[in-house]
Structure 1
Amino acid sequence: MLALIAGTGELPPALIARLDTRPLVCALSGFRPAVTPDITFRIEHLGRFLSELSDRGVTEICMAGAVRRPKIDRSEIDAKTMPLVPRIQAAIASGDDGALRAIIAIFEDHGFTVRAAHEIAPDLLPAAGVHSRAVVTIDHKNDAVAAEQTLAEMGRADQGQACLVRKGRVLAKEGQDGTDAMFARFAPAEDPLWGAVDLMGDVLGSASEWLSGADGDPSDLRGAILFKGPKPDQDRRADLPVIGPQTAAHAIRAGLAGIVIEAGGVMVLEFDRVLNELDRAGLFFWVRPKGGA
């Protein structure tokens, strides 16, 4: 039996739709997925949660969707979780990739097989190639090389999984706030598309520096490419990047030349819809092999 630990976003419902049998849907307290969970658990009760999964006959676990690291209330830690506290604390204190590796190791040590989302739904990984009517120019290819190098540097620092590049210049890097917020740094404050994005605090506070080039000239995203891919050597059973119609809408509204994703490393939700929207707007969509020209 499969347990799906669902975070936010559209990936969990997309996986459920592809399964013949509905999995046991679980959610970490404080994160409301787009599907109704059967079990909601706290990180302070992880040991009890693992026991409940075993009692229900769960043998496989898949983690899908976005979840931020929770704070631990030591007063809430139960007896079954107490032996796991050092490992949980180390996981939360480490970077994203390290935290996921530690959580996967805990699941495996308790006898569960951890499956990747793309194992359950391999159709979410599109084939390599240029799928759009718009072509990829030599300038776009050069920008993709620069973007891949930037992503490798970001990955080694355990940062984001996307960046925006134009004419060899990195315009923006994805942070902990995600791809939507990266685009939103360039959006006019009155633009309704970004109404759902929380731009208070750090994002709004840094908007002026993102909207100015190195030479002080105003900068926007017209003609740039979005490049997205996994971190180098990350455990791909969790946190594989995802794009979908919303990403396409952001790219179109920002005036990008196109979207580049790493072949085998980025899942695409509603592929046909994404491609149709990009085609109508004249953007290219390139599923690029790692290290490709």
Structure 2
Amino acid sequence: MLALIAGRGALPKAIADAQRERPLICALEGFAPDALSVDLTFRLETLGTFLGALQTRGVTQVCFCGAIDRPRLRLRQLDFKTLPLVPRFLRALRLGDDGALRVVVSLFEAKGFDVRAAHELLAGLTMAAGVATRSQPQEAHQGLPALGRSLLAAMGQADLGQACVLRGQDVLAQEDVSGTDALLARFSRHGEGKGAVLYKAPKPNQDRRVDLPTIGLATAAAVVAAGFDGIILEAGGVIVLEQDQVIETLDRAGLFLWLV
């Protein structure tokens, strides 16, 4: 049996709808998915009990999907079955996002659960190499994939962010814990995005079963509003939700979507 450890957004419902049998839908308290009823809600302080509940229900596979913010650990609210996990929790909270996720995934694997990637459960979530839009990248954009990869490698060492904004050979901004939406909002507010490009890719050595970077229609609309030239994504490495609408939105505005 499959359980979705779901967060905010449309991705959990898309995955659930694609399965022959409805998965068990689980959510961290405060981070329920869009348009999908939740079967089990848990808190970090009750994770040990939650893992036992999954085993009791016959769950053998789990998929982490959807967005969550880093939760707080309230030590006074720990239940008995979660107490043995505290040392690993504390280690996770000292790490960056990717490191913390690795610790969480290891807790599920230690209980015998097979961790499945979202793009394994729903074909077509990522896109193959090529330009998906009518508009094409120009000569000024040709060096940006290499610049983006180099920058993401450095960001990955610090375990921070999966996106950056580039123009020419300049790095205009890097994603931080506030996420891609906040990154793009800065440019739409100040009108400084002309000629810029959003580059997004997984961190080097990231566990691609969890937290694969994602864009959707809201991302495309924000890039248009910011006056960017387009979006560059790692082919096969970024989930693109609402693909037809994303491409249509970029086409209408004359922006490109380049998978490389």
Partner of 1:170: 171
Partner of 2:253: 281
Is the CA contact 2:216–2:240 (under 8 Å) kept in the aligned structure 1?
yes
What stretches of structure 2 of length at least 5 have no aligned partner? Answer: none
Q: Distance in 2 between matches of 1:158 and 1:112?
A: 26
Partner of 1:139: 140
**Other structure's SS at 2:124 match:** helix
Corresponding residue to 1:262 among 234, 247, 253: 234
1:180 deviates by 0.9
Is the CA contact 2:220–2:246 (under 8 Å) kept in the aligned structure 1?
yes
Deviations 1:225-254 (A, max 9, x none): 110000000111111000111111011111
TM-score using structure 2 length: 0.96
Q: Distance in 2 between matches of 1:20 and 1:141?
A: 43
Q: Which amino acid aligns with 1:4?
A: L
Q: Distance in 1 between matches of 2:38 and 2:93?
A: 23
Q: Provide the aligned C-alpha RMSD in A.
A: 1.2
1:8 deviates by 1.0
Q: Which amino acid aligns with 1:63?
A: F
Partner of 1:127: 128
Matched, 1:220 2:192: yes
Matched, 1:19 2:19: yes
1:17 deviates by 2.1
Q: Which amino acid aligns with 2:4?
A: L
Partner of 2:214: 242
Q: How many residues are treated as equivalent by the alignment? A: 259
Greater mean deviation of Cα atoms: 70-79 or 159-168: 70-79
1:32 deviates by 2.7
Q: Which amino acid aligns with 2:252?
A: R
Q: Distance in 2 between matches of 1:105 and 1:57?
A: 19
**Other structure's SS at 2:165 match:** strand
Partner of 1:205: none
TM-score using structure 1 length: 0.86
The alignment-based identity, stated in percent, is 52
Greater mean deviation of Cα atoms: 228-237 or 69-78: 69-78
Is the CA contact 1:14–1:269 (under 8 Å) kept in the aligned structure 2?
no
Q: Distance in 2 between matches of 1:165 and 1:249?
A: 18
Q: Distance in 2 between matches of 1:167 and 1:70?
A: 38
Q: Distance in 1 between matches of 2:136 and 2:53?
A: 52
1:256 deviates by 1.1
Q: Distance in 2 between matches of 1:71 and 1:237?
A: 23
Q: Distance in 1 between matches of 2:246 and 2:223?
A: 11
Partner of 1:114: 115
- Which structure 1 residue ranges, 4+ long, deviate > 4 Å from structure 2? none
Q: Distance in 2 between matches of 1:68 and 1:276?
A: 30
Q: Which amino acid aligns with 2:198?
A: L
Partner of 1:44: 45
1:147 deviates by 1.9
1:220 deviates by 0.7
**Other structure's SS at 2:128 match:** coil
Deviations 1:182-206 (A, max 9, x none): 1111233xxxxxxxxxxxxxxxxxx
**Other structure's SS at 2:84 match:** helix
1:167 deviates by 1.1
**Other structure's SS at 1:103 match:** helix
Q: Distance in 1 between matches of 2:149 and 2:88?
A: 33
1:139 deviates by 1.4
Q: Distance in 1 between matches of 2:167 and 2:124?
A: 30
Q: Distance in 1 between matches of 2:75 and 2:257?
A: 48
